[in-house]
Amino acid sequence: MQRYPRDMIGYGANPPAANWPNGARIAVQIVLNYEEGGENNVLHGDAASEAFLSEIVGAAQWPGQRHWNMESIYEYGSRAGFWRLHRLMADLPITVYGVATALARSPEQVAAMMDAGWEIASHGLKWIEYKDAPEDVERADMAEAIRLHTEVVGEPPRGWYTGRCSDNTVRLAAETGQFAYVADTYADDVPYWSEFGKTDQLIVPYTLDANDMRFATPQGFNSGTQFFEYLKASFDALYREGGRMLSIGLHCRLIGRPGRVEALRQFIEYAQSQGDVWFATREQIANHWATEHPHQRFVRPSQMGRDQFVQAYGGVFEHSPWIAERAFDLELGPAHDTAVGLQNAFARMFRSASEDERLGVLTAHPDLAGKLAAAKRLTAESTAEQASAGLDALTDSERTEFGAGNMAYTDKFGFPFIIAVRDHDKASIKAAMQSRLSNDRATEFKEACHQVERIALHRLKDMLPR
């Protein structure tokens, strides 16, 4: 079976109400990355110097050598940039992404973070690239990062962000059972849950756009003014939508420069001047979300075996389990674990079937208010659907009228009159029957097929949580 692991739908068109504390319209979450002293460096046992996120244009790693200029740029972050940012934000709830080895080399900065009440989350053992790391190596580094962080800070981290991660990172972090949230994703504006085996892991997504790293990347921010304007625009859009989270990423050696820090000050003052704004740490956001929106598991169609899948959904298209059987072989994934998504997979198989096969689906449908209904021999789904439009409580004259209409329709087209009754009431059903009798067969065949798909959608909405 083909299964696609990426979740391309998320919350869809209607994210859940965030219900931020005190009725806030937006949560503003500022991250200060503390990486200085944890970057690639032969002094740290690495093969080469650092080359990422600095003032040096086109920087490259120097294998087997120290890069004095690069080291000094990182040192600026710890020696000057950190303290400038600490003075500016000591009264705000800040989350620090702390590289464990960097924290261990910066005891005064750690003390200042703790005195300010900042959350110190883990940013991994070292600020290095993990994309090619063997899984056992990354797992071991993660365990050592937690151990060292706990030793240095005095308590274990409740949040995790590797940054330069592998495709194993989030799963490995979840498997520790350690974290209230993992942040190695940029996939949404609000937290969401992911399942890893038996573990339900809350994800609090991070950002690379509202991030001062773009001062050190091509086509990034050239001035503090650009940074302020981008943060302001992001804030305004999310504030207007309501119930969203604005993540802001900062680095001591980047935004801590005097030519940039005033843009951050200006934005903080702007955000504070607006009403209904919640400044929060990521852990506070995670705790709030877990309380407001605890994870609820359900049996996901894309994760079912064939027999279970066909047993559950084989009746969605009336007496036509072959549609579910064919749909099972598609590239199903999280996008098909919703009613709209799964209906699309079924409709694809229905639409690509032969005309005789589709006719078989049409003729499998019962007459509306017909003999099968009177004899109580409809499927449970058809019974409920007809009852929803009052077709189970017709007068004798209405029953006669429907019977005559069904007969005329079937005689003309060779299949029963089909309509998604949940879209209608009794009067509009009768009107539709009369109107559609004037169609030619090709037009009506197409319309009947469309109605079958609508019926399937309604049935799936009854079966799935979304």
pLDDT tens, position by position, 259-310:
999 999 999 999 999 989 999 999 999 999 999 999 999 999 999 999 999 9
Helix axes 380-388, 441-463, angle to 10 degrees: 100
What does the alpha-carbon distance between residue 281 and residue 96 come to, in Å, rounded to a whole number? 9
**391: pLDDT confidence band, cut at 50, 70 and 90?**
low
Question: Using alpha carbons only, what angle is made at residue 184 by residues 179 and 185, rounded to the nearest 5 degrees?
Answer: 125
**pLDDT of res. 371:** 46
Q: 130: domain range?
A: 21-292
**pLDDT of res. 457:** 97
Query: For 176-227, how does the pLDDT look when each residue is reduced to its tens digit (9 = 90+)?
Result: 999 999 999 999 999 999 999 999 999 999 999 999 988 877 778 889 999 9
Q: Looking at the structure, do residues 339 and 364 belong to the same domain, yes or no?
A: yes
Residue 16 is assigned to a structural domain of this protein: no
Bridge partners (DSSP) listed for residue 160? 122, 182
Statement: residue 458 has pLDDT above 70:
yes
Q: Looking at the structure, do residues 395 and 282 belong to the same domain, yes or no?
A: no
Q: Looking at the structure, do residues 122 and 262 belong to the same domain, yes or no?
A: yes
**pLDDT of res. 122:** 98
Q: Looking at the structure, do residues 280 and 333 belong to the same domain, yes or no?
A: no
Q: Looking at the structure, do residues 314 and 286 belong to the same domain, yes or no?
A: no
Q: Looking at the structure, do residues 117 and 218 belong to the same domain, yes or no?
A: yes
Residue 205 is assigned to a structural domain of this protein: yes
Residue 332 is assigned to a structural domain of this protein: yes
Statement: residue 418 has pLDDT above 80:
yes
Q: Looking at the structure, do residues 168 and 305 belong to the same domain, yes or no?
A: no
Query: For 116-173, how does the pLDDT look when each residue is reduced to its tens digit (9 = 90+)?
Result: 999 999 999 988 889 999 999 999 999 999 999 999 999 999 999 999 899 999 999 9
* Nearest by Cα to 380 from 306, 423, 316: 316
Dihedral over alpha carbons 303, 306, 310, 311 (to 10 degrees): -90
Residues catalogued as catalytic:
365
CATH number at residue 198: 3.20.20.370
| Phi then psi dihedrals of residue 137, to 5 deg | -70, -45
**pLDDT of res. 372:** 43
Least confident of 49-53, 323-327, 413-417, 436-440: 49-53
Q: Looking at the structure, do residues 252 and 272 belong to the same domain, yes or no?
A: yes
* Nearest by Cα to 330 from 342, 316, 345: 345
Q: Looking at the structure, do residues 280 and 356 belong to the same domain, yes or no?
A: no
* Nearest by Cα to 96 from 87, 86, 105: 86
Cβ atoms of residues 255 and 261 within 8 Å: yes
**392: pLDDT confidence band, cut at 50, 70 and 90?**
low
Q: Looking at the structure, do residues 44 and 186 belong to the same domain, yes or no?
A: yes
What does the alpha-carbon distance between residue 322 and residue 349 come to, in Å, rounded to a whole number? 9
Number of domains in the chain: 2
Structure tokens at 90: 């000591």
pTM score > 0.85 for this model? yes
Residue 311 is assigned to a structural domain of this protein: yes
Give the number of C-alpha atoms closer than 13 A to the C-alpha of residue 147, restricted to the C-beta side. Answer: 6
Cβ atoms of residues 49 and 65 within 8 Å: yes
Residue with tokens 């420069």: 257
What does the alpha-carbon distance between residue 427 and residue 430 come to, in Å, rounded to a whole number? 5
Burial class (CB in 10 A: 0-12, 13-18, 19+), 250: buried
Statement: residue 373 has pLDDT above 60:
no
Structure tokens at 439: 């169609």
Residue 105 is assigned to a structural domain of this protein: yes
Query: For 206-217, how does the pLDDT look when each residue is reduced to its tens digit (9 = 90+)?
Result: 999 999 988 877
Helix axes 441-463, 396-413, angle to 10 degrees: 120
What does the alpha-carbon distance between residue 412 and residue 251 come to, in Å, rounded to a whole number? 73
Give the number of C-alpha atoms closer than 13 A to the C-alpha of residue 321, restricted to the C-beta side. Answer: 9
Average pLDDT over residues 66-83: 85
Statement: residue 375 has pLDDT above 70:
no
State whether residue 391 is helix, strand or coil.
coil
CATH number at residue 347: 1.10.3330.10
- Among the candidates 230, 265, 292, a domain finishes at 292
Average pLDDT over residues 336-351: 97
Structure tokens at 150: 């706990």
Residue 7 is assigned to a structural domain of this protein: no
| Phi then psi dihedrals of residue 212, to 5 deg | -70, -5
Residue 386 is assigned to a structural domain of this protein: yes
Q: Looking at the structure, do residues 313 and 269 belong to the same domain, yes or no?
A: no
Statement: residue 421 has pLDDT above 90:
no
**pLDDT of res. 60:** 73
- Among the candidates 235, 262, 292, a domain finishes at 292
Least confident of 71-75, 149-153, 356-360, 459-463: 71-75
Q: Looking at the structure, do residues 278 and 327 belong to the same domain, yes or no?
A: no
Residue 224 is assigned to a structural domain of this protein: yes
Bridge partners (DSSP) listed for residue 48? 63
Q: What is the mean pLDDT of the chain?
A: 91
Average pLDDT over residues 221-241: 96
**69: pLDDT confidence band, cut at 50, 70 and 90?**
confident
- Among the candidates 292, 310, 328, a domain finishes at 292
> Radius of gyration (Cα) for the chain, nearest Å?
30
